[in-house]
Amino acid sequence: MDVFRSVPTGAETARQVSVRPSRDTTVPPKGGGNAPNTLGDGGNPAPEVRGLPRRNPPLPREFASAVSAASNASNASSARKLLLPSGEVIDVPEGLCAKVDKRGNVVYRVEGREVVVRLVGELLFRVSRGYRGSVACLDDRRMASLLGLGGYLDAFSSSWVRGVLVLLGFEEGRRGKSNKAIVIDMRKPIMNEVKNAKSINEVVEIIKRHLRW
């Protein structure tokens, strides 16, 4: 906005002054040169001019730790979720990553050793309560079912789980021609401890004691 200071009539009217706030009309040089760092208002430093905010890198397709559905939900929470191609949103158990494979199945992957021990504890606890025979043969599908997963563990995770069970004294075998499985023998001493445990947490402590972790 222009501010004018008028002087009374006469020759001095020519002294009518237009006071305008000055501005910097300097055009930044081409080729990415640095723009001047001052404005034409007395040499005061110009505020830093930033470009567009950097975009977050895209999530890897391999495993999305959690696809947040908070923007589409009225009550946002910190729960980890996965968006399925059908539009359904499912919860991802703590300690697991999840992705959807090419066939539309949910694939889970463990995030660390403590998670593996927890999964083994859940498996032994549920086997001790749900199986009446002396032996239970668990392949990847049966393990996922016992763990309550809406999909299956990836090869890396299922191999890790079987490896811990082998360290506990159970044998690894095959169910069918190609499916690897673990044979849970109910007569093993550790299974007596598992049967007497009152919770999964107690089973986890039993496992750690046997593994000396």
Output the pTM of the full model. Answer: 0.61
Q: What local confidence, expressed as pLDDT, does residue 200 receive?
A: 96
Q: Which CATH number does the domain housing residue 157 bear? A: 1.10.10
Token pair for residue 31?
């080729």
Q: 166 with 189, same domain?
A: yes
In this structure, are 193 and 157 located in the same domain? yes
35: in domain: no
pLDDT band (50, 70, 90) for residue 136: very high
Average pLDDT on 183-196 reads 94
Whole-number pLDDT of residue 66: 38
Output phi, psi for 64, to 5 deg: -90, 110
The pLDDT, as a whole number, for residue 79 is 54
For residue 189, what are its two tokens? 């001493």
Res. 139: pLDDT tops 50? yes
Question: Where a domain ends, among 110, 136, 160?
Answer: 110
What is the total count of domains within the chain?
2
Percentage of the chain modeled with pLDDT above 70: 62
Q: Where are the alpha helices (DSSP H) in 68-199?
A: 113-130, 140-146, 155-167, 189-196
CA distances to 43, 60, 171, 208 from 138, in Å: 77, 31, 11, 21
Q: How far apart are the first and last CA of the chain?
A: 75
Range of the domain at 202: 113-211
What is the C-alpha separation between 195 and 190, in angstroms, rounded?
Answer: 9
The answer to whether the CB of 106 falls within 8 A of the CB of 147 is no
Last residue of a domain, which of 78, 110, 142?
110
User: Does one domain contain both 195 and 124?
Assistant: yes
